[in-house]
Chains A and B, each alone.
Chain A
């Protein structure tokens, strides 16, 4: 017998003991922790090799955070104050999926971003761009049964930083995802198509594989655009998924 439904059946046990899902480690996807072009990695990346840890009970489970983490207006960053924020109103939506295409339902999605002028509401962000009294820049929502999420916000502005000469971050929204297992935890950034600043951005370019980089882009989605109201963008997020592993047979001849 094979298949994820079997792996995930509570109480599934083989002769060898507990049967757990296994999440293969993605290859050639994530950035190297040691990426010198992003200068802050210099003193913060481990220099010892990572120790391989087999996935056991703690790793294949994880927090199943629910609606109690999400307030009524947390998904709409344009309605969290008395007035409306400045900027281009946008709808960012998509699905949270596993590698085999299965949706991840009822999982918490968190976002944070700069305002339309490129400034964060953060004490550490002091560059001369205006704060917006009507914009906090923080959102949360749950995916639905089909893995779908949706935020309403404004397009974040581009902002400077001091990583290199005349350094600017492409427009982006920070995303935080849990999935259902500790192995699936993901923090990423969503970028917009045709940003002129990708060429000099060490975060975008820290993902070496061109195809993988493209997966950080949202796409304009006319079907999600609401007439005389807001532009739609689609961003699907793929988390590491469990592998359909082959079960040991009763009369297996082992390794």
Chain B
């Protein structure tokens, strides 16, 4: 029989690593999503094109391949990353490439009339964006960003490929060392699901906070 303490000592360090990867990866992803998303809306053809190539590249090559590449091939070019750095980088770049579509889509979904009202009120470009367009677009972005954050959480399960001991890796270790299959895997399934629920709860709370309220 498995003692509960055994379960905790096997899985807990993995939980922490999974959370770290999720938080850092998503932070990077959000930064990239806004940078690339806005670049794709830019007037400059050059910027638009490079943003487009960036997205197509990271969405087009599988994340697994990217992870291997970052870990095994980049060092050949003199850029040696720790497994953790490689994982955060790849998770963030990949997810950011997808999420840049969220940013772009939300900005494009705003009615053109809002921009015209800004011009009529003589707001500067920055003021238009900061005071009128972004507050409305952010609200539209929250639900899809919530999904994107959860997808990244799920993707962290592959980092054992480059020898990081995340939750999934820990469950595997426990399986081989204790011979018990059901408990470790059921446990981490529930943990992943709980983390996913947590993310969507937080995002929903954020959405409620940002929704303008009647006085």
A and B found bound together: no
Interface residues of A (CB under 8 A from B): none
